[in-house]
């Protein structure tokens, strides 16, 4: 049973998480470098809860992060997409990819498709990306997408972190898309 859409880009398939993604998700959450700016390493128990929360948000909110599948290999390479848990500081398109997928432009490619979805299908007026100021890679992705620091944002418990909220309005995103930038 499909709980949400599948979006294809040139090199990626974005689809709602499935049970078969769990082992890959566990490896993702166990990697210290990957999780450095995403709340820290998590074991299988917390990973299960996180994956189920993201999957359940499809039912509760009608959207959530997608599993990112590399077309060329069929491998799960991360999760990204629209995200707004209760108490979140805004309508976010976030991303997190396995280390082997870094530097390939997948985050920008997938996030652009997710921003299209958030603006065109979900009707969001603003898209943010909450980013640790020390996360140079995610800052580059946000800037490639045309986002800029809008404000500081505090994530709700249990994280309670103050981060930079990069972002842009839906109109800014549409104008950028029309220009082909």
| 33 found inside a domain | yes
Please say whether the beta carbons of 82 and 92 come within 8 A. yes
pLDDT at 172: 96
At residue 43, does pLDDT exceed 90? Answer: no
| 37 found inside a domain | yes
pLDDT in tens, 75-124: 999 999 999 999 999 999 999 998 999 999 999 999 999 999 999 999 99
- Domain of 66: which CATH number? 3.40.630.30
Please report, in angstroms and rounded to a whole number, the separation of the first and last CA atoms in the chain. 36
The residue written with tokens 């530097």 in the block is: 103
Query: 41 CB contacts (<8 Å, ≥6 apart)?
Result: 29, 30, 31, 32, 35
Partners of 105 in the β-ladder: none
Q: Please state the separation of Cα 51 from the chain's center in Å.
A: 13
- Domain count along the chain: 1
| 1 found inside a domain | no
| 96 found inside a domain | yes
Question: Looking at per-residue confidence, does 68 or 43 come out higher?
Answer: 68
pLDDT in tens, 125-181: 999 999 999 999 999 999 999 999 999 999 998 878 889 999 999 999 999 877 765
Q: Which domain holds residue 126?
A: 7-180
| 11 found inside a domain | yes
| 2 found inside a domain | no
Q: Is the peptide bond before 158 cis (omega within 30 degrees of 0)?
A: yes
């Amino acid at each position: 049973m499909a709980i949400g859409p599948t979006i294809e880009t040139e090199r990626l398939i974005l689809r709602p998480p499935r049970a078969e993604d769990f082992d890959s998700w566990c490896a993702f959450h166990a990697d210290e470098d990957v999780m450095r700016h995403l709340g820290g390493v998590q074991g299988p128990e917390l990973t299960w809860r996180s994956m189920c929360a993201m999957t359940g948000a499809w039912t509760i909110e009608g959207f959530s992060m997608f599993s990112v599948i590399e077309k060329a290999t069929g491998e799960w390479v991360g999760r990204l997409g629209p995200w707004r848990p209760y108490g979140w500081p805004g309508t976010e398109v976030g991303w997190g990819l396995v280390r082997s997928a870094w530097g390939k432009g997948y985050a920008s490619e997938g996030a652009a498709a997710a921003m299209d979805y958030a603006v065109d299908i979900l009707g969001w007026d603003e898209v943010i990306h909450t980013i640790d100021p020390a996360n140079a890679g995610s800052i580059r992705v946000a800037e490639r997408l045309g986002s800029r620091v809008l404000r500081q944002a505090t994530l709700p418990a249990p994280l309670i972190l103050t981060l930079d909220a990069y972002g842009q309005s839906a109109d800014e995103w549409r104008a950028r898309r029309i220009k082909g930038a």
